[in-house]
């Protein structure tokens, strides 16, 4: 029997203009010009990202899997009984299943809610889990992080059982350090109460060459993933990006501890027809930023949690010391 998916997407007002188009235009007009990172995650982008996580050079996934393979039982044992676990961006569930099966083996009653942007991927993922689970119930939530936070606030007001927010894959790295702090704080303030928990996986400030290679694979999957964002943008912008005008470039900033993904103009590109001023002109070599991936030393992670009212309970690290899984208390 297929598992249930709840549509929690906020209803859009059909009379207002396309919000994605607005975000794209706002980004192109800002200086330096940017495109919203979420344009990378249309159906095609979600599949390409899944392919990235299986690349040998993209070590964050392998590191997180090795931590969960070794410590899923400890993590499961640290979670309260009868908890509601909500995962932000569950993806293919390759990693999460390690935790869910550990909870099942410990016979810990758990309601697991998997939140994701794509209902078709979500359906595949949750129905791919063992159908014989007795202690762990699995339900899909179709929506954005924002929808998820609001849903959690409602769940919080209806039930007094413990809530656990699971945020794996170092997705927190795609927010600036300040935005990451606001994002976590908002969850803590609006959707959680004392005793609730957060489980967060975060990539460390690793060897710059290794980080750069993680975002610049020889097979060109990352390049495809980033360039596909322009296809997505084109669907909201009357096809203004000609794919042959743009190339991908990745840069790692060692001091700041973050990687940036850019579109580089391959020739003079004039988009003043759509971005109605000088900012619509991109000379050859001009860059549009689409993604940042911030890395955290253990000390930087501790400072972040402290800013957000989250208290460290446990930290698990992979054998190579490249990645941390944090268990935190509100
Ligand atoms: C989803 N996120 C944490 C990935 C990252 O590492 O920033 C997305 C990604 N971009 C290029 N490769 C992977």
Per-residue pLDDT of 90-117, as tens digits, reads 988 999 999 999 999 999 999 999 999 8
Q: What is this structure's pTM?
A: 0.95
CB distance 250 to ligand 1 below 6 Å:
no
The predicted pLDDT at position 209 comes to 98
CB distance 169 to ligand 1 below 6 Å:
yes
Secondary structure of residue 308 in the 3-state scheme: helix
The predicted pLDDT at position 265 comes to 97
Cβ-Cβ contacts under 8 Å for 15 (sequence gap 6 or more): none
Q: Which of 177, 210, 206, 182 is nearest to 301 (CA)?
A: 177
Secondary structure of residue 89 in the 3-state scheme: coil
CB distance 216 to ligand 1 below 6 Å:
no
The predicted pLDDT at position 12 comes to 72
Q: How far is the CA of 70 from the centre of ligand 1 (A)?
A: 24
Helices (H), the chain: 19-29, 43-53, 59-78, 96-105, 119-127, 145-158, 177-190, 208-214, 221-236, 298-308
The predicted pLDDT at position 14 comes to 65
Strand partners, 252: 259
**Which of 52, 61, 62, 203 gets mutated to test ligand 1 (max ligand atoms within 8 A of its CB)?**
52
Q: Both tokens of residue 194?
A: 């004392």
Tell me which residues of the chain have a pLDDT lower than 50: none
CB distance 174 to ligand 1 below 6 Å:
yes
pLDDT digits (tens, 9 = 90+) for 128-175: 999 999 999 999 999 999 999 999 999 988 888 899 999 999 999 999
């Amino acid at each position: 029997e297929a598992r249930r998916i709840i549509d929690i997407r906020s209803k859009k007002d059909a009379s207002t203009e396309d919000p994605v188009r607005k975000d794209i235009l706002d980004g192109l007009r800002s200086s330096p010009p940017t495109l919203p990172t979420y344009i990378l995650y249309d159906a095609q982008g979600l599949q390409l990202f899944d392919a990235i996580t299986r690349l040998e050079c993209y070590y964050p996934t392998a590191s997180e899997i090795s931590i969960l393979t070794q410590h899923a039982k400890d993590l499961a044992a640290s979670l309260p009984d009868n908890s509601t676990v909500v995962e932000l961006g569950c993806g293919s569930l390759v990693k999460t299943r390690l935790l869910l099966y550990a909870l099942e083996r410990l016979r810990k009653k758990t309601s697991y809610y998997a939140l994701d942007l794509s209902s078709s991927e979500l359906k595949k993922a949750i129905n791919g889990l063992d159908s014989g689970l007795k202690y762990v119930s699995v339900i899909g939530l179709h929506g954005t992080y924002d929808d998820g936070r609001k849903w959690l606030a409602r769940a919080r007001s209806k039930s007094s059982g413990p809530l656990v927010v699971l945020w794996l894959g170092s997705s927190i790295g795609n927010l600036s350090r300040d935005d990451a702090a606001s994002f976590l704080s908002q969850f803590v303030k609006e959707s959680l109460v004392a005793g609730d928990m957060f489980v967060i996986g975060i990539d460390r400030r690793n060897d710059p060459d290794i980080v750069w290679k993680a975002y610049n694979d020889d097979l060109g999957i990352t390049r495809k993933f980033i360039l596909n964002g322009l296809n997505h943008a084109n669907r909201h912008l009357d096809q203004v990006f000609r794919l042959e005008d743009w190339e991908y470039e990745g840069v790692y900033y060692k001091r700041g501890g973050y990687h940036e993904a850019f579109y580089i103009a391959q020739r003079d590109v004039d988009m003043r027809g759509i971005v109605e001023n000088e900012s619509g002109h991109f000379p050859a070599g001009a860059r549009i930023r689409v993604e940042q991936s911030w890395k955290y030393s253990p000390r930087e992670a501790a400072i972040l949690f402290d800013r957000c009212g989250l208290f460290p309970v446990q930290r698990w690290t992979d054998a190579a010391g490249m990645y941390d899984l944090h268990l935190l208390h509100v």
